[in-house]
């Protein structure tokens, strides 16, 4: 009887813990088509004044091209890309006006979903793929992020035809601080069909909902169903797995 009470308590506690990580409420992803001759991108003008000293960018991506193309570009007037995130490297430029190319050794396969996180603080940068830390080489930029810029998703702001992302983007969020390894891994293991947890949602300065609602769509970019109606099933599966492990422990 006591063991059953323990199991019931853990089951309730598990769902309390998981409840703040709710099913995705947007149900839409952004699809960037393969045709390189089209200007396929999303434009936003976010207020990033609260992230000048540190920030994090996380998203789910499914790439269709075997090329190192940019998917995130932030640029202030009169400068090159202040922050350019690509599939196999990235460039960061802060108030000094000097561009710092940072590289990592990882292969992004075609037609597979990946969870990517770029985390930056003055003099320090980290990158995670599917919740795993990836070594970054190159000088880590110091200073403060310049504000008043334009955010473009799907390509760099040079807009050359060979410099375009093709594939699906989902649940991109910009956070106003450096998120932790635990928070990165939780986002990945929760899966793309679950919103970020409530405690972390308070740290968001550019949300996926903002992008879908306020982003200026150019070219042939479309909003497609994310196929995430089963999100609560994913949460239930996780809870069920935890409970089964606990039953084995107490039986």
Give residue 18's pLDDT. Answer: 45
d(CA 83, CA 94): 8
Give residue 152's pLDDT. Answer: 93
Give residue 169's pLDDT. Answer: 96
Beta strands (DSSP E) in 64-137 are 70-75, 81-86, 89-93, 99-104, 113-121, 124-129, 132-134, 136-137
| Tokens of residue 182, six digits | 């635990």
List the chain residues with pLDDT less than 70.
1-26, 36-38, 93-99, 159-162, 229-251
First to last CA, the chain: 11
Give residue 78's pLDDT. Answer: 76
Give residue 233's pLDDT. Answer: 41
Under a CB-based contact definition with an 8 Å cutoff, are residues 71 and 86 in contact?
Answer: yes
Give residue 240's pLDDT. Answer: 40
d(CA 15, CA 240): 10
| Tokens of residue 42, six digits | 């999303």
Give residue 159's pLDDT. Answer: 60
Q: Residue 98's beta-bridge partner residues? A: none
Q: Is 234 left (phi over 0), alpha (psi -120 to 50) or beta?
A: alpha
Give residue 160's pLDDT. Answer: 62
pTM of the model: 0.80
Give residue 66's pLDDT. Answer: 77
In tens, the pLDDT along 80-139 reads 778 888 887 777 765 555 667 777 777 788 899 999 999 988 888 889 999 999 888 877
Give residue 141's pLDDT. Answer: 75
Counting every residue, how long is the chain?
251
Give residue 180's pLDDT. Answer: 94
């Amino acid at each position: 009887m006591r063991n059953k009470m323990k199991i019931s308590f853990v089951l309730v506690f598990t769902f309390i813990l998981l409840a703040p990580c709710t099913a995705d409420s947007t149900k839409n992803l952004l699809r960037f088509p393969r045709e390189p001759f089209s200007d396929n991108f999303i434009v936003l003008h976010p207020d990033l004044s609260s992230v000048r000293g540190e920030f994090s960018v996380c998203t789910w991506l499914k790439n269709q091209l075997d090329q190192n193309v940019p998917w995130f570009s932030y640029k202030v007037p009169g400068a090159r890309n202040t922050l350019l995130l690509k599939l196999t490297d990235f460039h960061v430029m802060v108030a000094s006006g000097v561009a710092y190319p940072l590289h990592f050794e990882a292969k992004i396969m075609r037609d597979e979903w990946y969870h990517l996180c770029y985390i930056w603080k003055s003099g320090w940068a980290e990158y995670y793929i599917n919740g795993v830390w990836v070594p970054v080489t190159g000088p880590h930029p110091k200073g403060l992020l310049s504000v008043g810029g334009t955010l473009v998703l799907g390509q760099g702001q040079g807009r050359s035809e060979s410099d375009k992302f093709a594939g699906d983007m989902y649940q991109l969020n910009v956070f106003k601080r450096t998120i932790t390894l635990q928070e990165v891994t939780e986002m990945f293991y929760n899966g793309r069909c679950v919103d970020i947890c409530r405690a972390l949602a308070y740290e968001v300065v550019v949300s996926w909902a903002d992008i879908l609602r306020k982003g200026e769509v150019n070219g042939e970019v479309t909003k497609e169903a994310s196929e995430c109606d089963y999100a609560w099933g994913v949460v239930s599966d996780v809870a069920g797995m935890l409970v089964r492990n606990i039953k084995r422990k107490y039986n």
